[in-house]
Amino acid sequence: MISPEKIWSSDQLPTLPAVAVKLLDLSKNPDTDIKEVIETIKADPAITAKILKASNSSFFSLRSECKGIERAVPLLGTMVVTSLALSFSLSESAITHGPLKSRFDSYWKQSIIQSAAAELLATKAGFDLKYDSFLIGLLQDIGHLAMLRSIPTDLLSVLEQAEKEQRETVEVESAELGINHTEVGVKMMERWQLSEQFQTAIQHHHDSVAQLKTLESHPDFNLIIIIATSAAIGDYFCSPNSGLALQKLQDLTSEFYNMPHDDLHGFLEQVQARFEEAAQIFAVNMDDIESPFEIMAKANEQLVQMTMKAQVDTTQAFARQAVIEEQKNKLESENKQLQSKAIHDPLTKTYNRSYFNENFEKELYSCSRTAQPIGIIFSDIDRFKNLNDTYGHQFGDLVLQRVAKVASDSTRRSDVFCRYGGEEFVIMVNNPSEKGIHDLAERLRKLIENEVIEFEGTRVPVTASLGAVVGIPPRDLTGFAERLIAEADEAMYESKENGRNQVHIRSIITKDDQELHKLIKRCRFSRWLVTKAVFDIPTISKALLKCPQQQTQTRIGELAIAEKMISEDGVSKILELQQLKGMRFGEIAIQQNFLTQEQTAYLLALQVEPPIVLGKTLISLNLLESAQTAELIKQYLAEMKPCSIPAGEHQNQLANS
């Protein structure tokens, strides 16, 4: 990257002599007296001689010879003589020796080709300012000249890179230098106070076809297209990347001039004839510019090579992408394996104690908020040490694996089965009743007892002792997890002490919580659907397993307000008391007579099992239609919602509190 100031502060920038500056000023005024133009030109004898010589060249094809500048100027016109004067002035800044000579020669040749092409394109399009087009075509790459003179070393490396990589020069300039010759050219036009029309045309002369099409409503659109096309023609004749130039030229002439590709060759021959005439005026040797036919052959060959290279690049890109995808998949697989190892027991492939502890904490918090029960079952293989000592550790490992599989296969997806340590396993049971957790534990005991595990063809009896506990976490969870684990552990040891191969159950749910939990279950939409004989228990149970897990549950206070059971002031009061007492919202609401136990149960049922969520699941499983689901939810809410406490009584409660 370079600082633009390095360009603008250079004393090598192209400058215009007084005559050229004066002529530019005069050309802007349509009322300029022709005599003033003649007098201005005559002030510079060298420019006068060159303009007079140009007027008699084949380029202008005047009917009679001009022997004096007084006749040449009226015949050529103010804009033409201004263009010529400006061109002659700029050509004097030529670099005639050193490494930049060939670059300057190439620049000057391309400028002449572009000016001749712009004039022909203007004529072809019926554009009445063909000599304006000639001048802009000549000046469109003036930024390139400015950069050659002010930052030659930086620019040369960019030009070589563009040629090597077969990319457009402006693209590489912007990427490597932070500025391109189009931007410099527009700035030069501003400095020379040329019209906005000139600046706009130069600004867009390297735009893509897609970019140019967005300018169709611009008042100078025709001039913009002429200059952009002449730039592509200049690149075609002078750039080493003729294939790239041909591709763009074909797109431009096809899109904006309706010129078939077969007609392009003939037009380029016209351009060549015209720029050879212009070259005579400026004494530039164009002998090294090849014919359109020769260039076309090279350009097509380049296009074939570019296509082949693009195909190779694409193939290589696909190959690289395949390698990247393979590496990505490998890393993802390794990451999954590492994650799996982190949460799974390597011997039994079940979850490990770390996974249990993490999920146990989350489930406790969730159950605390919704007043839902949580259950723990501890299972310990009976006389496991004796099995190891008698049959060996390999057999002991087999016993652990078989017991783990039996238990895993019979555990619900909503429950979590883990190896807790040694021969001890644990199950975290979701939303259990005391009877439900007992039945689950007893079923597991029987399955383990009935599992056939053999040593050298002889069955070895294997049993387990189980202990379970069910509880409803309070809002303040301090010490509750430890108590739950201890109760389950003690219940398991009670089974062992009473003869092993037994199940013992404990409940630490208070009578009030037991009653509330029964009411919550009775209020749930799934239970209501079963009681109304809409579905049987197995069907609704499967639907509940398909229900999406809620990321965040609606707070019970918000539900109470929405159901018009408690006012916003009442909810605020309960929340204040909750902070002081560390109790659940529902407990305080019942204690302070804001809600009845039935109302609290109804709200908790809505929180735990939103009817809309279950309804959508039933629709997705094609068990209900949308209209039928909406009607059932409406009936459910009408039947199950307990009577609300009158609003006035709420206010009395607040006052009394």
CA distance 188 to 386: 97
Mean pLDDT lowest for which of 48-62, 254-268, 288-302? 288-302
> Which among 231-235, 321-325, 526-530 has the top mean pLDDT?
526-530
- Residue 17's H or E segment, with its range, is none
pLDDT at 649: 44
Instruction: Quick: pLDDT tens for 450-496.
Output: 999 999 999 999 999 999 999 999 888 889 999 999 999 999 999 99
Closest CA to 348 of 392, 299, 400: 400
pLDDT at 429: 93
CA distance 359 to 481: 12
Tokens 């208070």 correspond to: 510
Closest CA to 105 of 356, 336, 283: 283
pLDDT at 67: 79
What Cα–Cα distance (Å) separates residue 197 from each residue in 77, 82, 132, 194? 20, 17, 10, 8
Conformation bin of residue 617: beta by default, left when phi > 0, alpha when psi is -120 to 50 = alpha
Given a cut of 60, whether residue 621 has pLDDT beyond it is yes
Percent of the chain's residues with pLDDT above 70: 91
DSSP state at residue 284? -
Instruction: Quick: pLDDT tens for 503-546.
Output: 999 999 888 888 888 898 899 999 999 999 999 998 998 888 88
Mean pLDDT lowest for which of 214-228, 303-317, 399-413? 303-317
Given a cut of 90, whether residue 439 has pLDDT beyond it is yes
Tokens 């239970």 correspond to: 527
Given a cut of 60, whether residue 306 has pLDDT beyond it is no
Domains 99-289 and 353-509 share a fold: no
Given a cut of 50, whether residue 60 has pLDDT beyond it is yes
pLDDT band at 572 (very low <50, low <70, confident <90, very high): very high
pLDDT band at 629 (very low <50, low <70, confident <90, very high): very high
CA distance 15 to 18: 10
Q: What is the DSSP string of 535-585?
A: S-HHHHHHHHHHSPPPSSPPPHHHHHHHTTSS-HHHHHHHHHHHHHH---H
pLDDT at 643: 65
CA distance 603 to 607: 6
Q: What is the DSSP string of 83-146?
A: HHHHHHHHHTT---SSTTHHHHHHHHHHHHHHHHHHHHHHHHTT-S-HHHHHHHHHHTTHHHHH
CA distance 522 to 510: 18
Tokens 């400028």 correspond to: 111
Instruction: Quick: pLDDT tens for 32-54.
Output: 788 888 888 888 787 788 778 87
pLDDT at 301: 66
Given a cut of 70, whether residue 657 has pLDDT beyond it is no
pLDDT at 568: 92
What's the CATH fold of domain 99-289?
A: Hypothetical protein af1432 (1.10.3210)
pLDDT at 387: 93
Conformation bin of residue 349: beta by default, left when phi > 0, alpha when psi is -120 to 50 = left
CA distance 630 to 637: 11
Active-site residue, from 119, 183, 276, 423: 423
Residue 473 has phi, psi (to 5 degrees) of -65, 135
Specify the CATH number for 353-509; select among 1.20.120.10, 3.30.70.270, 3.30.565.10, 3.40.50.720.
3.30.70.270
pLDDT at 307: 63
> Which among 12-21, 257-266, 387-396 has the top mean pLDDT?
387-396
Mean pLDDT lowest for which of 33-37, 71-75, 96-100? 96-100
pLDDT band at 309 (very low <50, low <70, confident <90, very high): low
Given a cut of 50, whether residue 290 has pLDDT beyond it is yes
pTM of the model: 0.47
CA distance 257 to 251: 10
| Residue ranges covered by each domain of the chain | 16-92, 99-289, 353-509, 525-656
Structure tokens at 545: 């397993």
Given a cut of 80, whether residue 213 has pLDDT beyond it is yes
Average pLDDT value for residue range 440-446: 94
Q: Please give, one letter per residue, the 3-state secondary structure of 199-236.
A: HHHHHCCCCCHHHHHCCCCCCCHHHHHHHHHHHHHHHH
CA distance 131 to 111: 14
Given a cut of 60, whether residue 653 has pLDDT beyond it is no
Structure tokens at 304: 């074939």
> Whole-number mean pLDDT of the chain?
84
**What's the order of all strands across the beta sheet hosting 464-471?**
416-421, 424-430, 374-381, 464-471, 503-507
> Which among 94-98, 149-153, 262-266, 628-632 has the top mean pLDDT?
628-632
Average pLDDT value for residue range 537-560: 84
Known active-site residue 490: no
Percent of the chain's residues with pLDDT above 90: 33
Tokens 């189009």 correspond to: 182
pLDDT at 87: 72
Orientation angle between helical segments 78-91 and 130-139, nearest 10 degrees: 10
What Cα–Cα distance (Å) separates residue 364 from each residue in 111, 427, 470, 604? 81, 14, 12, 16
3-state secondary structure of 529: helix
Given a cut of 90, whether residue 280 has pLDDT beyond it is no
CA distance 429 to 411: 9
